Structure 1
Amino acid sequence: MSLRIVPEEKQLTDAKNTQFGPAAPSAPGVVDTLRSGEAPLSISSKVNNRHPLQSRIEKWDQTQRDLQLETYRRTFGVADPIRREMELNIVKETDFRPTLFGFSAITSPSLDILLNKETTIGWEDIYTGFNDAKPTDFHTEMEKQMGI
């Protein structure tokens, strides 16, 4: 593990045809658009017309998280990052976020605390989505959560 602060530069210079989707069983060199349910894509749009910083920006949060876990591992031992990742997975899987309290599927106070983002304001905190569905009451959400 390294103590990388900035993500490494990984701009695509070449690409295989099946790199961006599953290959068709009958034609291994062609992306299977029928089974994947996605529209056909242009591989040149995935490789060309990309700024060199774009891949670094997309991987910024993960690189910072890896640096933080590596620092915890070197300071407190291997058990601390394992515990933190277990807690994060538990919160991602089982965290109950009622829409009545203004939490969306993206934001969660527990998740923010575990990722050390409780003092930052991001775009997902302000633009929670434009859902036109009528918000349900707390009891209906609890019944749905518990499977009643």
Structure 2
Amino acid sequence: MSLRLAPSSSLPTSTSNTTTASRISAQSKDALDRGAPSAPGLHDTLRSSLSTVSPSSTQVSSSHPLEARLKAWTATQESTRQNILRRTFGIAEPLRRGMELKLVRDADSFRPTALGEPGRVHEDILCGRDAEISWEDVYNGQDGLRLSSGGDGQGVGWMEEMERKVGMGKW
């Protein structure tokens, strides 16, 4: 239980937009071959689909060390905030805030895509980010959904989405 200001520096400090042939799969290699002619390492959205991988694999991994560092920074700041609350008010205050945050996140998880992205106002207030503007607040496009063949979220009915969320097709 420390009041650390910055996360430990065990994260990588450099990145490369190209990967070696031994570390990439055939699908990733195919995606690199379809890259833009002027920038071979970049994905060309106009010549292929909106996603660089097939819709079956939905795991997103960060390749830039700064993104991992920012996630670690946010986690460190949240841990410090919880420790300060616990030292000041006792265990009840961080526990109450954690339960409220879980309720807010669970309430937004069962929202159909047809209604758009859920508003994160409650979560931002509970996390203390209500005075910040991040890129998620400005850019809320649906290009990452990949629910239909086009990848833009169009053509997906709310019935199919709810069936998928509650697991009706897994019998």
TM-score by length of 2: 0.48
Aligned-residue sequence identity (percent) comes to 36
Figure out how many residues of one structure are paired with residues of the other and give that number.
Answer: 104
Q: Deviation per CA, 1:52-81: give whole Å up to 9, x if none.
A: x66432311111111111110111111100
> Does residue 128 in structure 1 map to residue 140 in structure 2?
yes
- In structure 1, the residue matched to 2:125 is 113
Q: Residue type matched to 1:84 in 2?
A: R
Unaligned stretches of 5+ residues in structure 1: 13-36, 39-45
Judging changes above 3 Å, is the alpha-carbon distance between structure 1 residues 99 and 108 closer, same or farther for their aligned structure 2 residues? farther
Judging changes above 3 Å, is the alpha-carbon distance between structure 1 residues 110 and 60 closer, same or farther for their aligned structure 2 residues? same
- In structure 2, the residue matched to 1:19 is none
Unaligned stretches of 5+ residues in structure 2: 13-55, 143-151, 167-171
2:138 & 2:113 partners in 1: Cα distance?
Answer: 14
**Deviation beyond 4 Å, 4+ runs, structure 1:** 96-101
1:88 & 1:119 partners in 2: Cα distance?
Answer: 18
- In structure 2, the residue matched to 1:62 is 75
Q: How does 1:1-148 map to 2 (within 5 A)?
A: 1-11=1-11, 55-95=68-108, 104-105=117-118, 107-130=119-142, 131=152, 133=154
1:54 & 1:99 partners in 2: Cα distance?
Answer: 26
CA RMSD of aligned residues (A): 3.5
Task: Name the SS of the counterpart of 1:59 in structure 2.
Answer: helix
Task: Name the SS of the counterpart of 1:87 in structure 2.
Answer: helix
Does the aligned pair in 2 maintain the 1:8–1:56 contact within 8 Å? no
2:140 & 2:78 partners in 1: Cα distance?
Answer: 23
Q: Deviation per CA, 1:77-132: give whole Å up to 9, x if none.
A: 1110011111111111113768798x625x51111111111110000000112345
1:100 & 1:132 partners in 2: Cα distance?
Answer: 8
